[in-house]
């Protein structure tokens, strides 16, 4: 199986711009007692989560960093509403995408921070093709134009990791308290074959949530259906090392 990153098509044909965010989110962490970092990353999102019933118990609309004890309390409020396989980190966003949109969009589009949006007809076609793991959530985007598209956001679970061979050998392990990984995304990437899912054709990486990955099945279906708006760039995967033959 071949794999690709899903990235924005930057040709002048696509002028669409989205300004917005998800309805709710977890705050960042202010000065983690274990690693000392203040941080948050909003590239991990679960648009299907509905926090209406617990929204009064915490400030889920304020992205500013809070003490880690408050962040952990909010995580426990959120956890029962998460889809299976979801992972939390400071800055995780929740609920439907809300905002405004204008311009020309393709059938698919990626938007900061690493959303993957698909128009209704395109989503239905991909599902009919048997592409695995497509969970589309209606957005709440307001379009400043006539004949506006109806976009769904694909809920992408964090699975799969980069292989150790493309990462610094002296890297530090994730913080045991807040989970922060003090690494920059390498320019040359290699997927760890042992971590890749067999039940999903599109997902985001667990260790670098801003990287969207799809299988060859997904990329070929989009090409066959002539779905535009994104580009697919091949990314290599690790291969099992051959065992040395026993000495006779």
Q: What is the pLDDT of residues 183-207, one digit of tens each?
A: 999 999 999 999 999 999 999 999 9
What is the average pLDDT across 42-50? Answer: 96
Q: What band does 34 get if pLDDT is binned at 50, 70 and 90?
A: very high
Q: How many helices (H) and strands (E) does the chain have?
A: 3, 12
Phi, psi of 224 (to 5 degrees): -65, -35
Q: Is the pLDDT of residue 10 over 70?
A: yes
Phi, psi of 153 (to 5 degrees): -100, 130
Query: At a CB cut-off of 8 Å and minimum separation 6, what does 9 contact?
Result: 106, 228, 229, 230, 231
Over pLDDT 90: what percentage of the chain? 91
In our burial notation (b when 16+ CB lie closer than 10 A, e otherwise), range 119-132 reads beebbebbeebebe
pLDDT tens by residue, 123-137? 999 999 999 999 999
What is the average pLDDT across 4-25? Answer: 94
How far apart (Å, rounded) are the C-alpha atoms in residues 70 and 51?
A: 17
Phi, psi of 109 (to 5 degrees): -155, 145
What is the average pLDDT across 94-105? Answer: 94
Contact 136, 123 (CB under 8 A): yes
Query: Within a 10 A sphere around the Cβ of 137, how many other Cβ atoms?
Result: 18
The whole-model pTM stands at: 0.93
Q: Is the pLDDT of residue 243 over 60?
A: no
Q: Chain centroid to CA 159: how far?
A: 10
Contact 95, 22 (CB under 8 A): yes
Residue 162 token pair: 């980069």
How far apart (Å, rounded) are the C-alpha atoms in residues 37 and 34?
A: 8
Residue 86 token pair: 């979801």
Angle, to 10 degrees, between the axis of helix 216-224 and the axis of helix 120-128? Answer: 120
Query: Within a 10 A sphere around the Cβ of 237, how many other Cβ atoms?
Result: 18
> So what's the pLDDT on residue 33?
97
How far apart (Å, rounded) are the C-alpha atoms in residues 20 and 18?
A: 6
């Amino acid at each position: 199986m071949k794999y690709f990153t899903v990235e924005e098509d930057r040709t002048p044909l696509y002028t669409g711009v989205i300004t917005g965010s998800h309805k709710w989110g977890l705050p960042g962490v202010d000065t983690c007692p274990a690693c000392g970092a203040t941080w948050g990353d909003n590239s991990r999102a679960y648009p299907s989560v509905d926090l209406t019933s617990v929204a009064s118990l915490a400030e889920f609309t304020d992205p500013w960093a809070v003490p880690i004890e408050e962040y952990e309390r909010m995580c426990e409020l959120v956890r029962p509403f998460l889809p299976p396989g979801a992972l939390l980190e400071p800055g995780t966003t929740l609920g439907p995408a809300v905002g405004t949109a204008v311009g020309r969009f393709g059938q698919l589009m990626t938007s900061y921070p690493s959303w993957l949006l698909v128009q209704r007809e395109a989503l239905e076609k991909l599902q009919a093709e048997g592409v695995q793991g497509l969970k589309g959530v209606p957005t709440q985007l307001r379009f400043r134009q006539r004949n506006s598209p109806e976009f769904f956001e694909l809920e992408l679970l964090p699975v799969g990791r980069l292989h150790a061979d493309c990462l610094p050998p002296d890297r530090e392990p994730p913080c045991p308290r807040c989970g922060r990984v003090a690494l920059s995304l390498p320019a040359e990437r290699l997927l760890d074959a042992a971590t890749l899912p067999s039940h999903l054709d599109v997902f985001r990486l667990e260790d670098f949530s801003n990287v969207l990955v799809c299988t060859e099945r997904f990329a070929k279906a989009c090409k066959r259906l002539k779905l535009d708006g994104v580009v697919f760039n091949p990314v290599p995967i690790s291969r099992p090392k051959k065992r040395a033959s026993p000495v006779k």
